[in-house]
Amino acid sequence: MKNPVLLSTAISILALPPLASATDLHAWNNHASPLTFLFGNEIDGHQQSSAQENGGLFGFLYVHFTGTITKDGHRVATHVDCGSVPDCSVGWVMFGKARTATFLYQEMDDHPVFLIPRRDLPQPGAYSHFHRVGPDVQSSGPGYILDLVAIDSFCFIHHDAESASATKTCVENKGVPVSPGIDASTHLNVVTSFPAGGGQPM
């Protein structure tokens, strides 16, 4: 990492206790230095990161806690525009590698799905989310594949989180239970092959 502040932050993250509060990390500051990298689309409302000398990214993915606690004890969290909502918290530490991916399809209320050859998946890590750079996120082209490390426990609901019920479990609320550590579930949108002749060799 080229920035000593980010390096010390990364080291501190590795030393955090298992249930560290999201408020222990970098507060949202609207992409002030050194977290100045912008994707140029909606993710910039809930990410702050820095471009590294090796071409990668290091930063944070933010959530807003709605105030609801599910029946199984998870605080409900979702993405919002943190420039408009004053109480965003870090949900994940984010590591990114530059890649080019092929857009395949998008189902309603889910992330667009991209094809990346298996040989292009970074190692080590659990790089499971590809996000395009630029305004057209439903297109093939350059972006970053992201490795997300959750720093707190919560129920992540990507859409309509305000409707979550305290009388239902996280899963019953159509959420994903998140625990501190590697998270390859909440934002998964990468495949390494595609049927009907639409794929690339592994």
Q: Is residue 5 scored above 50 in pLDDT?
A: no
Rounded Cα distance between 93 and 13, Å, is: 8
Provide the whole-model pTM. 0.87
The confidence score (pLDDT) of residue 195 equals 83
* Over residues 106-123, mean pLDDT: 95
Beta strand 57-69 with 141-150 is: unpaired
What mean pLDDT, rounded, does the chain reach? 89
Percentage of the chain beyond pLDDT 90 is: 82
Cα 86 to its chain centre, rounded Å, is 19
Residue 170 token pair: 């996280």
Q: Which is nearest to 132 in space by CA: 151, 115, 150?
A: 115
- C-alpha closest to that of 47 among 4, 58, 101, 188: 58
Give the pLDDT mean for 166-185.
98
Q: State mean pLDDT over 161-172.
A: 98
